Amino acid sequence: MSLCTNYRNQLEESVQDELCDAGFYAQIANEAPTQELRELIISIVGDEYGHARLQASLLGICPPPVSCPPDCPSATGSFSADVETAIQGELGAIRRYAELAMCAPTLKIRYLLTSILGDEYAHARIWTAMLQAESLCGTNPCSR
């Protein structure tokens, strides 16, 4: 079966994944050891919701319907562990958007999907930098 056979279903799942990520990241923001990290994470939450809205519009559903996506992760209370989970999610999203972009029915849609891919890559770098700061500065990332 071709990767592109279930394109619409994959796009629908991607919307749900983005909504899950937005909720999970909002929980991580509550664990953030500094106000600066909290604000940075909240900006990522907004990006993830924006990704869901963009994809929902591609499906003709704007804004995404209110729903409870199945199996959304919950924050564990461990900032480091949850950031590691976020990194893994972002890396998976990069792969998902590369596959969706390959199947995009138009060049404009491919461009939109690859722009989301770029955002996810940037998020993975930001999350990784947070862990790096934590390892360099101790349990409270470089607090003043």
Does residue 144 fall inside a structural domain? no
- In the chain, the amino acid numbered 105 is P
Does residue 117 fall inside a structural domain? yes
Does residue 143 fall inside a structural domain? no
Does residue 111 fall inside a structural domain? yes
pTM of the model: 0.86
Q: What is the pLDDT of residue 73?
A: 83
Question: C-alpha distances in angstroms, 19 versus 5, 78, 108, 144?
Answer: 24, 21, 23, 34
Q: Which domain holds residue 60?
A: 7-137
Positions in the chain whose pLDDT score sits under 50: 141, 143-144
Total structural domains within the chain: 1
Does residue 1 fall inside a structural domain? no
CB 110, CB 98: distance < 8 Å:
no
Q: What is the pLDDT of residue 144?
A: 43
Q: What is the pLDDT of residue 4?
A: 85
- 77 in the Ramachandran plot: left (φ > 0), alpha (ψ -120 to 50) or beta? left
CATH number at 38 reads: 1.20.1260.10
